[in-house]
Amino acid sequence: MEFLQPATWHEALEARAEHPEARPIFGGTDVMVELNFDRDRPGALLDLTRVPELSEWGEEDGMVRIGAGVSYARIIEEVGGRLPALAMASRTVGSPQIRNRGTVGGNLGTSSPAGDSLPPLYAAGAEVEVCSVRGVRRVSVEEFVRGPKRNALAGDELISAVVVPVARGPEQFSKIGTRNAMVIAVCSLAVSLDVERRKVRACIGSAGPTPIRAREAEGFIEGVLDEEGLWESRGEIGEETLGRFAELVREAARPIDDVRSTAEYRRHAVGVLARRELVWVWQEYRGGEAR
Amino acid sequence: MRLRLEVNGEVREVEGVWEGESLLYVLRERLGLYGSKNACEQGECGSCSVYLDGVLVCSCLVAAGQAEGREVVTVEGLAEGEGLHPVQEAFVEAGAVQCGFCTPGFVVATHDLLSRNPEPTDAEIREALAGNLCRCTGYEKILDAVHRAAERVRV
């Protein structure tokens, strides 16, 4: 095995092009488990922790660009005000030790349907910035994640950043697990209100081969909010509407039975989360000015 | 490969490190620092917790090469001089040590918590120590130890 440790982003891309078999590593919270358990013997490790740009984030024109190496701990602390749902999801990742090392870039690279940061990124309409010696391209996160642990990254490409629009309204993320901490999601859901554009977005996590946007549910609730003039009146959402929204989110899920849960429970739980989170974001909207 | 890193304030060099090796393996098997324990090797139990450049991490999830030129502090490096660190004393006094296997990880994680939050509530302690498992002492005495340590560190 080789250990490649580029000091610049350019060197990293060259190393990647020369060693398509190399496994990129940053926080190591996924990669090292595979190595420790002898499940994986890549030809090379490509350590990206020496590339300073990857650990930077910044805001421009209403978008937050988060370097692939920014840890969950830093997202919670530094970016949380701009991206509340991503921060909430980051807070549910592992333990302090894991959040200190793990990165959103790694979550994207692993492309697990249970990746906690993915539903908020889908709900926000985030784009993944990928680079190679051939150039830079941006792919919407929905196109990036292709299936369980499969993504749109070519052999010579690396994830440089994720670009996320700053929240334009209240957001929520909830996760069901078999205990309170240090747990992989049984299922999860992100819900966001875009107050400016009068849009609602909902994305299911860990109840399908990829995270799934609940598009019918989104369209339904947007229709009701418009028809009933609720954006203006800031009135309550009716019981029947909440129930129908939850039902449509539930129907969008494509869960399986596995060691963590039955499909039936996942489907039920996703509906419960949908109803609760819609109430929470709407209460926040009713209670105050839009973000 | 060859590795040079600072461990507990001392520059250490090791040779013949395998490229896929963890920092934990280097600490225990190459440097003889057995304080950090090897249990789950997947970041679940926290018994290998150390500081890497001042950040609390599971050393089993750090590739050895990633620690090149960095500063590592293990449980062995917390106490100054001969005596125990106040966190260690508190663990002994509270009886928060039974078989002792998880203790070094808990001590380092508690040290990290108190450095950021000198007066943690029970809920904050539980959240901060969520990555450290104990299979015999139970967590009540550990909570007690953290509160005792907090009082000491404040004084």
Q: What is the ipTM of this complex?
A: 0.96
Residue A291 predicted with pLDDT over 50: no
Residue of A nearest to B50 (CA): A97
**C-beta separation of B143 from B122 below 8 A:** yes
What's the count of helices (H) and strands (E) in chain B, helices before strands?
5, 5
CA distance B89 to B107: 10
What letter does residue B72 receive in the DSSP assignment? E
Residue B67 predicted with pLDDT over 80: yes
How many percent of chain A have pLDDT more than 70?
99
A289: confidence class by pLDDT, cuts 50, 70, 90? low
Chain A contact set for B70 (CB, 8 A) = none
Residue B155 predicted with pLDDT over 80: no
Structure-token pair, residue B121 = 């509530």
By DSSP bridging, strand A44-47 and strand A2-4 are: parallel
CA distance A181 to A92: 7
Per-residue pLDDT averaged across A173-177, rounded?
97
Nearest Cβ partner for B46 among A32, A44, A97: A97
Chain B, window 69-128: residues with a beta carbon less than 8 angstroms from a chain A beta carbon? 109, 112, 126-128
Instruction: Express each pLDDT in B33-51 by its tens digit.
Output: 999 999 999 999 999 999 9
Quick one: which of B107, B72, B90 has its CA closest to B153? B90
Mean pLDDT of chain A: 96
CA distance A72 to A120: 13
CA distance B146 to B96: 9
Q: Which residue has the tokens 């350019």?
A: A10
What letter does residue B75 receive in the DSSP assignment? G
Residue of A nearest to B132 (CA): A95
User: B148 - beta bridge partners?
Assistant: none
Q: Which residue has the tokens 């300073």?
A: A52
CA distance A223 to chain B (A): 40
CA distance A161 to A75: 13
A290: confidence class by pLDDT, cuts 50, 70, 90? very low
The answer to whether the CB atoms of B41 and A100 lie below 8 A apart is no
Chain A contact set for B1 (CB, 8 A) = 3
